[in-house]
């Protein structure tokens, strides 16, 4: 299997993504509040993430006289979403986007910490899970790319934006913004030079999308 | 959830560094590049009522509803629905929903999954309450027993005048019998308080030679949790039967050891008195609706969601079922926002 030697870049990217993820409490929230600036690459007004007009609700006290509502976080409605999709839904989600679930997905329950019967565990984005997700995504994306005549040619300045937009829209269930399309197309046309197989180039592009928050969360 | 506080987001640094030890970075280089480049751009999207992309909005709503309520990917019909919210009622009466919510409740009550269905009375009784739309408080105080089914492979719920929710079922009593030297069921008392009111206190770890008897628990460092606080564990445990272990290891419970106690501003004479008092509190209602938010959102309610939370409590008070309380929250427009 031919791979792309981007270790240095990936380490930098890893650190960058981690720092972005951990930069501030506001950054942890996946979606902006209504009215928040969400332009691509722009900043989100922290106030829009907060509950600036706190409604007066009922008071609930425990037997010790403690107001139980004091544990509530200062967040706006609709901002703290983005749960990781559980393993149990991935086959359906891959089918929705790729047309079929990758064959190896069925044996990956352990990689995704699928809960025991009659039990529930909130899925988490672990290193093992992300790695497995990428491998499974690449496998499924390659099958799709091999089946599509339009993927016989490598992505270029014309086809990459168009295919990225279409695939992002399908995977994220929404119209992608310009920045997302540009990032995807740039990756497709400038970061895969060492991969000579056009279909594998497309598979890398699609696997990236399928390992991003837009697809991984709901 | 994707949170920065405890475990950061998507690929937390600590997690990623651990990840580097055994994953070929070259293999995942493309995804890392996209993560870095798109981290800012990819955050900040949600379905909104005024979304210019209604088809996408409906797909996202369908996906969110199906995964949350059923633990399944949305089917083609739901994805194409003009108003996925119209399917909520049918979802709430599906076996997949019963299983998912009962599993969630089970996980809230038990810190780890049971090895066998025969050790899972909370799951089976919770599922019964949800499926039969029984009063939710009866999960804790209802006249039920949860016993081995005739096939010997699962548990079944039967009416039992001597029942007290799942608290008097044999598997639960054994699981939380504890290891107190005189058989005082401190662990059971704590779980009764925790399961009904959400109250949490970390268990202390015994030091070598430390006196863990009732006398030792009256020492300054221990007496607050065990005797003085509103949740005084020894006082609560006094109204429970004591654990007895036979020479062959068989565990039984001796009801003759029960003594009345004063706790929660009441004179309590039995475990039923204790749990009934707990379930009659604001803390119980609060905890049930917080559980609803945790189930639906993967996090507790926030400050701005207080009015919706109050509607959840009102539905629980009026209808008595967890079904009604949960329906209020999931049917609110903010859920698909």
Q: Measured between beta carbons, which residues in chain B are less than 8 angstroms from residue A185? A: none
Interface A–B counts its CB contacts (< 8 A) at 347
The residue extents of the domains of chain A are 10-80, 82-218
Q: Which has the higher per-residue pLDDT, A48 or B245?
A: B245
Q: So what's the pLDDT on residue B210?
A: 87
pLDDT tens digits, one per residue of B238-268: 999 999 999 999 999 999 999 999 999 999 9
Q: So what's the pLDDT on residue A37?
A: 44
Whether pLDDT at A147 is above 90: yes
Q: So what's the pLDDT on residue B206?
A: 78
Note whether B103 contacts A118, CB cutoff 8 Å.
yes
Q: Does A128 touch chain B (CB under 8 A)?
A: yes
Whether pLDDT at A47 is above 90: no
Q: Does A9 touch chain B (CB under 8 A)?
A: yes
Mutation for B interface: A23, A78, A101, A176, most B CBs within 10 A: A78
Whether pLDDT at A28 is above 90: no
| B-contacting residues in A 40-99 (Cβ below 8 Å) | 40-41, 44, 51, 53-58, 60-64, 68-69, 71-86, 88-93, 95-96
Q: Does A109 touch chain B (CB under 8 A)?
A: no
Q: Measured between beta carbons, which residues in chain A are less than 8 angstroms from residue B30? A: 4, 6, 187, 191-192, 204-205, 207-208
Mutation for B interface: A12, A18, A36, most B CBs within 10 A: A18
Mean pLDDT over the full length of chain A: 84
Q: So what's the pLDDT on residue A45?
A: 78
Q: Which residue of B7, B13, B230 is in closest CB contact with A124?
A: B7
The residue extents of the domains of chain B are 1-44, 183-198+224-268, 282-336
Note whether B282 contacts A60, CB cutoff 8 Å.
yes
Q: Does A149 touch chain B (CB under 8 A)?
A: no
Q: Which has the higher per-residue pLDDT, A45 or B337?
A: B337
Q: So what's the pLDDT on residue B17?
A: 34
Q: What is the ipTM of this complex?
A: 0.83
Quick one: three-class SS letters along chain B?
Answer: CCCCCCCCCCCCHHHHHHHHCCCCHHHHHHHHHHHHHHHHHHCCCCCCCCCCCHHHHHHHHHHHHHHHHHCCCCCHHHHHCCCHHHHHHHHCCCHHHHHHHHHHHHHHHCCCCCCCHHHCHHHHHHHHHHHCCCCCCHHHHCCEEEEECCCCCCEEEEECCCCECECCCHHHHHHCCCCCCCCCCHHHHHHHHHHHHCCCCCCCCCCCCCCCCHHHHCCHHHHHHHHHCCCCHHHHHHCCCEEEECCCCCEEEEHHHCCCEEECCEEECCHHHHHHHHHCCHHHHHHHHHHHHHHHHCCCCCHHHHHHHHHHHHHHHHHCCHHHHHHHHHCCHHHHC
Note whether A61 contacts B282, CB cutoff 8 Å.
yes
Q: So what's the pLDDT on residue B205?
A: 80
pLDDT tens digits, one per residue of A185-214: 999 999 999 999 999 999 999 999 999 999
CA angle A12, A14, A16 (to 5 degrees): 70
Note whether A73 contacts B302, CB cutoff 8 Å.
yes
Note whether B38 contacts A72, CB cutoff 8 Å.
no
Q: Which residue of A75, A89, A175 is in closest CB contact with B303?
A: A75
Which regions in chain B score pLDDT beneath 50?
1-49
pLDDT tens digits, one per residue of A151-185: 999 999 999 999 999 999 999 999 999 999 999 99
Q: So what's the pLDDT on residue B51?
A: 62
Q: So what's the pLDDT on residue B117?
A: 97
Q: So what's the pLDDT on residue B262?
A: 97
């Amino acid at each position: 299997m031919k791979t792309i030697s981007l270790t240095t870049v990936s380490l930098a990217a890893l650190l960058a993504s981690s720092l972005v993820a951990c930069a501030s409490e506001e950054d942890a929230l996946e979606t902006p509040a209504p009215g928040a600036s969400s332009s691509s690459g722009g900043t989100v007004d922290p106030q829009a993430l907060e509950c600036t007009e706190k409604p007066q609700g009922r008071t609930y006290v425990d037997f010790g006289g403690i107001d139980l509502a004091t544990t509530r976080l200062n967040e706006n409605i609709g901002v703290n979403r983005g749960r990781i999709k559980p393993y149990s839904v991935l086959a359906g989600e891959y089918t929705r986007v790729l047309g079929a679930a990758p064959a190896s997905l069925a044996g990956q329950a352990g990689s995704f910490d699928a809960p025991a019967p009659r039990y529930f565990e909130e899925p988490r984005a672990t290193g093992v899970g992300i790695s497995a997700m990428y491998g499974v995504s690449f496998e499924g994306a390659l099958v799709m790319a091999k089946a599509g005549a339009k993927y016989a040619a490598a992505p270029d300045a014309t086809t990459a934006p168009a295919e990225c937009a279409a695939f992002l829209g399908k995977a994220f269930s929404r119209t992608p913004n310009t920045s997302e399309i540009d990032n995807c197309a740039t990756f497709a046309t400038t970061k895969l030079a060492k991969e000579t197989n056009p279909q594998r180039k497309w598979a890398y592009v699609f696997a990236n999308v399928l390992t991003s928050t837009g697809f991984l969360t709901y | 959830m994707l949170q920065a506080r405890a475990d950061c987001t998507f690929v937390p640094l600590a997690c990623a560094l651990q990840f580097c030890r055994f994953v070929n970075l070259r293999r995942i280089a493309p995804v890392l590049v996209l993560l870095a480049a798109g981290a800012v751009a990819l955050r900040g999207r949600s379905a909104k009522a005024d979304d210019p992309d209604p088809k996408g909005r409906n797909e996202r709503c369908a996906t969110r509803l199906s995964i949350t309520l059923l633990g399944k990917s949305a089917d083609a019909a739901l994805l194409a629905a003009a108003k996925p919210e119209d399917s909520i009622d049918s979802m709430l009466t599906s076996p997949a929903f019963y299983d998912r919510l009962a599993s969630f409740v089970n996980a809230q009550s038990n810190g780890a999954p049971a090895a066998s269905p025969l050790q899972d009375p909370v799951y089976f009784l919770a599922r019964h309450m949800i499926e039969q739309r029984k009063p939710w408080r009866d999960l804790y105080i209802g006249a039920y027993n949860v016993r081995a089914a005739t096939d010997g492979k699962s548990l079944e719920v039967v009416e039992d005048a001597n029942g007290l929710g799942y608290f008097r079922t044999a598997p639960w009593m054994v699981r939380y019998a504890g290891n107190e030297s005189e058989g005082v069921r401190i662990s059971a008392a704590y779980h009764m308080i925790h399961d009904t009111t959400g109250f949490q206190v970390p268990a202390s770890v015994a030091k070598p030679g430390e006196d863990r008897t009732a006398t030792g628990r009256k020492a300054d460092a221990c007496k607050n949790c065990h005797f003085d606080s509103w949740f005084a564990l020894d006082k609560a445990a006094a109204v429970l039967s004591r654990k007895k272990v036979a020479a062959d290891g068989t565990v039984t419970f001796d009801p003759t050891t029960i003594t009345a106690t004063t706790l929660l501003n009441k004179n309590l004479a039995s475990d039923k008195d204790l749990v009934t008092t707990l379930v009659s509190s604001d803390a119980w209602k609060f905890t049930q609706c917080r559980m609803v938010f945790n189930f639906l959102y993967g996090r507790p309610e926030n400050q701005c969601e207080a009015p919706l939370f109050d509607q959840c409590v009102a539905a629980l008070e009026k209808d008595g079922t967890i079904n009604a309380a949960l329906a209020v929250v999931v049917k609110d427009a903010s859920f698909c926002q």
